[in-house]
Structure 1
Amino acid sequence: MKAIVLAGGSGTRLWPLSRKDYPKQFLKLNGGKSLLRQTVDRLLLFLNPEDILILTCEHYKFHVKAHLVDLSGYHLLCEPHARNTGPAIAYGFKYALEKWGLPSDEPVLICPSDHLIEPEDVFAETVQKAAQVAKEGFLVTFGITPSRPETGYGYIKQGERLKEVNDFSAYKVARFTEKPDVATAENYLKEGGYYWNAGIFLFTPETFSKELATCAPDIFALYDNDFDTLTSKFAEMPDISIDYALMEKSSQVAVVPLSLYWNDIGSWDALFDVLEKDSSGNAQTGRVITIDTENSMILGQKRLIATIGLEDHLVVETPDAILIVKKGEAQKVSNLVKQLKNEGYPEALEHVTTYRPWGSYTVLEEGPRYKIKRIVVNPGERLSLQMHYHRSEHWVVVRGTAKVQIGDEEIFLHENESVFVPKSTKHRLENPGKIPLEIIEVQNGEYLGEDDIVRFDDVYGRSKK
């Protein structure tokens, strides 16, 4: 068995923590590991790193590497364009067949990178048993046994039984249903035989290709090329999910029930369910003081947050934004983000801290003709050799050792030492040391946008502009 992990999504439902530049799969929401890393560790219970393909986009490639820095052997593939899960999975399969040497009859597990699943050993055992169903020519989907009349998930209705061995069962899928209203969801639970659609799939390349040709000929027409041709034509792919393109149309779909805890962390309400609560039913992190506050979530980062008389609310604070939403209304956060984008708010897409392949930078202050940043360069990493037409820079080392190139000169800077970088001068910053390098950068000039960078050399292969 092999696995393809989908890690290219840029979800907005957990704004302001999750944003396009740093989406949910890289957040550490329930402990010290990101959701991506938890996903990979779960797969490593029954797979080797060499059996795992991480499918992401170019913009997130260095995030994936950073979160799997101690893991070697896994495959990493970047989609040429964002085209939803249907084309993405087709791209992953084509890579696996041609570049990975995957046999056409070997089952492949498709899973998102941002779900919580417990206990993990039950998941691993069920997936391995379901491999036999996939080998028999079925597109296997995994259904979560519902614990409540949830209206935020799609449902799967089971049909005739295909297999029943000890504690393992598999059924033909009778139909998929969209997210129901409360009354319909309650009826599903009473009737039984309905499962939440977890968006986790298992099938062989042979079955996938056959069903794709029948159910999604527009995708298959492009998929039926070699990998390099598919890459060059990928922009022609339709923007469609695997559910709409294939799973809801095929007659060869089977559902395997998963009786465990599953949460896609699809909203702040969903995260609240996961977090540990105090005696008042509150989940809180950071500097929080509460008086007469009950059944609420207060997540702080930088500021002191004080609440009085709050009940059934969700409060999320980041250095540049605060979200306050009533419990049960968190699904509307995506609508809020759309409004922020339409009105040109940069907070819709970017954090004050921006991550780069070499480390990160945080905007501390900015105004007309100036910007102040804290820059952290990881050990052994270096920025591109670059130049700015419209700004000069002044660097002050706060921690660590910096190797600096300005023009043809190279110098070393230590704590409390500084250097000036004039406009239109080639320069580069590097950390030759063993600890993170931290500097304060003061920019001055008539234009301070991040696109005023001309790159001459870059170890990370980024554009020269």
Structure 2
Amino acid sequence: MNVILCGGSGTRLWPVSRALMPKQFVKLFGERSLFQLTVSRNAALCDRQCIVSNAEQYFLAVDQLHELDQTSGSYVLEPVGRNTAPAIALACLALAADELVLVTPSDHLVKDQRHYQQVLDKGQELARNGYLVTFGVQPTYAETGFGYIESGEGFTVKAFHEKPDLATAEEYLEKGSYYWNSGIFLFKAGVFLDELRSHSPKIHDACVKAFKNGIHGEIMRIRHEDMLDIPDDSIDCAVLEKSDRVRMVSAAMGWSDVGNFAALHDELPKDEHGNTLNDCHISVGSRNNFIYGRERKIATIDVENLIIVDTGDALLVSRKSSSQKVSQIVDRLRAQGNGLHNIHLTGHRPWGTFTVLEEARGYKIKKIEVKPGKRLSLQKHFHRNEHWIVVSGTATVTVGDEVRLVRPNESTYIKMGEIHRLSNEGRIPVVLIEAQVGEYIGEDDIVRLDDDFERTVAPSESS
């Protein structure tokens, strides 16, 4: 069983990565996201997959699995994240005690599939003998953004170390017995749960309670109150740092956590001057820059070692050496109540997408695309009126007790407080322009009366 953890938000890759479109689902490498690459890489090695995710990311995962023509597998949906130890425990509780579990992040890159399979084969031997196996990557430079594993003789582990300062990281590199913690683990489900119960009983017992009270099936949903009762802790702190059953396999598999723009720059194709290849970039005398932007032209003159990221609603300019500090920008945006940390101009929903075309005080204009066979929730708004103009497809519109078809170049109007719904009963996408007018046009002005996707009202959630 491959347990894929999808809970991260990738704040150090803002503004490319947002809370509702985190880095694992962004297609940074051609036509495939890191999540899709993870699924494909492990599908060849594991007979089943379980994806641990929150409700919003579940729909992104389903869509991207469909792109891979893969629909099998199970899900554990967490209403709120409580770190990796509870996420892994909830997945393991659904398995037989002797089933081997490969735990992988969804947002890491592994370039050497052959060696990856070899180190997993070695780890499998240890896991079958009752060990908790972790995989350490030989460091190539003094990285302060990773945790480290200090190795002992054979496959033993002396200690786990949190993210060091630069001087300590340089010391680790010089000693040679310290490895980057890859966040990949292999063990029997029962062995992990036994060690969790022994070393972190509060987490274990709270997970057992949450699992018993959850809604079971191909999609396991955990109750919000039960999830909040689980202590927040990582697998490293809750189990691995305390257990004497931990073993480490050294892995030279072309691994990167792609955790910041400097790391991402290392993995992407570059021009003859070391700049990221980008059709939108015009360079005069510029070298070794990370350039990201797909809409506007980005022109640089005589600049070096910069990060320049343009996403339409945000522009980031930074020294490449300061890429670890991007998360501080996200913290400030969050403190300001600014939605830029949360969502792009284009937001993805289980029914389709919406794109904000223009927004100012008192009004907002969106393009909405609804997939065939999907519909938005039955809803109402307290602070805004809406005008819908269909561009293509045929929309089935419910307003109050009236249901009617709205075709291209036709429109409908929804008054503030009216119950309404938008559906696509056709075979092609419905595309429409929505104009919102009101004193408050925030995405949380929505009351759902019925929803096909079992969503509840939440800040920054739309339709």
TM-score, structure 2 normalization: 0.91
Can you give the 5+ residue segments of structure 1 that lack an aligned partner in the other structure? 97-101, 162-170
Residue 326 of structure 1 deviates from its aligned partner by 0.3
SS in 1 for 2:369: strand
Equivalent pair of 2:395/2:405 in contact (CA under 8 Å): yes
Deviations 1:4-58 (A, max 9, x none): 110122231100111112111111111111111111111111123xx11000012
2-structure distance, mates of 1:448, 1:186: 51
Match of 2:292 in 1: 299
2-structure distance, mates of 1:454, 1:224: 33
Are residue 57 (structure 1) and residue 54 (structure 2) matched?
yes
2-structure distance, mates of 1:342, 1:175: 36
Equivalent pair of 1:295/1:313 in contact (CA under 8 Å): yes
Are residue 370 (structure 1) and residue 363 (structure 2) matched?
yes
SS in 1 for 2:97: coil
Match of 1:385 in 2: 378
SS in 2 for 1:424: coil
Shift of the 184–368 alpha-carbon distance from structure 1 to 2, 3 Å rule, reads closer
2-structure distance, mates of 1:191, 1:444: 63
* Residue among 64, 68, 73 paired with 1:67: 64
Aligned-partner residue type, residue 300 of structure 2 = T
Match of 2:274 in 1: 281
Match of 1:166 in 2: none
Aligned-partner residue type, residue 17 of structure 1 = V
Match of 1:211 in 2: 195
Match of 2:86 in 1: 87
Residue 182 of structure 1 deviates from its aligned partner by 4.2
1-structure distance, mates of 2:438, 2:336: 27
Deviations 1:102-156 (A, max 9, x none): 3211210111000000122321332133112012111100111222333322221
The 5-angstrom pairing of residues 250-399 of structure 1 reads 250-399=243-392
Shift of the 59–214 alpha-carbon distance from structure 1 to 2, 3 Å rule, reads same
Equivalent pair of 2:59/2:349 in contact (CA under 8 Å): yes
Match of 1:6 in 2: 5
Deviations 1:390-412 (A, max 9, x none): 32211112222222222333322
1-structure distance, mates of 2:163, 2:457: 46
2-structure distance, mates of 1:198, 1:111: 9
Are residue 195 (structure 1) and residue 179 (structure 2) matched?
yes
Match of 2:28 in 1: 29
Equivalent pair of 1:27/1:34 in contact (CA under 8 Å): yes
Can you give the 5+ residue segments of structure 2 that lack an aligned partner in the other structure? 215-221, 459-463
1-structure distance, mates of 2:268, 2:455: 39
2-structure distance, mates of 1:336, 1:88: 28
1-structure distance, mates of 2:457, 2:308: 41
Deviations 1:36-89 (A, max 9, x none): 1111111111123xx110000122221111111231220011124321111111
SS in 1 for 2:212: helix
Deviations 1:275-318 (A, max 9, x none): 10101110043522111110101111322211111101010001
Kindly report structure 1 stretches of 4+ aligned residues shifted beyond 6 Å. Answer: none
Shift of the 130–374 alpha-carbon distance from structure 1 to 2, 3 Å rule, reads same
Equivalent pair of 1:45/1:121 in contact (CA under 8 Å): no
Equivalent pair of 2:444/2:457 in contact (CA under 8 Å): no
The 5-angstrom pairing of residues 128-207 of structure 1 reads 128-161=121-154, 171-207=155-191
Deviations 1:192-220 (A, max 9, x none): 33321101111112211222123212212
Shift of the 135–83 alpha-carbon distance from structure 1 to 2, 3 Å rule, reads same
1-structure distance, mates of 2:21, 2:105: 16
Aligned-partner residue type, residue 35 of structure 1 = L
Equivalent pair of 1:106/1:135 in contact (CA under 8 Å): no
Equivalent pair of 1:393/1:442 in contact (CA under 8 Å): yes
The 5-angstrom pairing of residues 30-45 of structure 1 reads 30-45=29-44
Match of 1:167 in 2: none
2-structure distance, mates of 1:341, 1:458: 28
Deviates more, 1:423-432 or 1:34-43: 423-432
1-structure distance, mates of 2:290, 2:433: 34
Residue 178 of structure 1 deviates from its aligned partner by 2.8
Residue 415 of structure 1 deviates from its aligned partner by 2.5
TM-score, structure 1 normalization: 0.91
Shift of the 81–226 alpha-carbon distance from structure 1 to 2, 3 Å rule, reads closer
2-structure distance, mates of 1:223, 1:354: 32
Equivalent pair of 1:395/1:440 in contact (CA under 8 Å): yes
Are residue 400 (structure 1) and residue 396 (structure 2) matched?
no
SS in 1 for 2:455: coil
Identity %: 45
Shift of the 80–390 alpha-carbon distance from structure 1 to 2, 3 Å rule, reads closer
Aligned-partner residue type, residue 415 of structure 1 = P
Residue 446 of structure 1 deviates from its aligned partner by 2.7
Equivalent pair of 2:448/2:457 in contact (CA under 8 Å): yes
2-structure distance, mates of 1:306, 1:429: 42
Aligned-partner residue type, residue 68 of structure 1 = L
Number of equivalent positions: 447
Deviates more, 1:6-15 or 1:149-158: 149-158
Match of 2:18 in 1: 19
1-structure distance, mates of 2:268, 2:444: 40
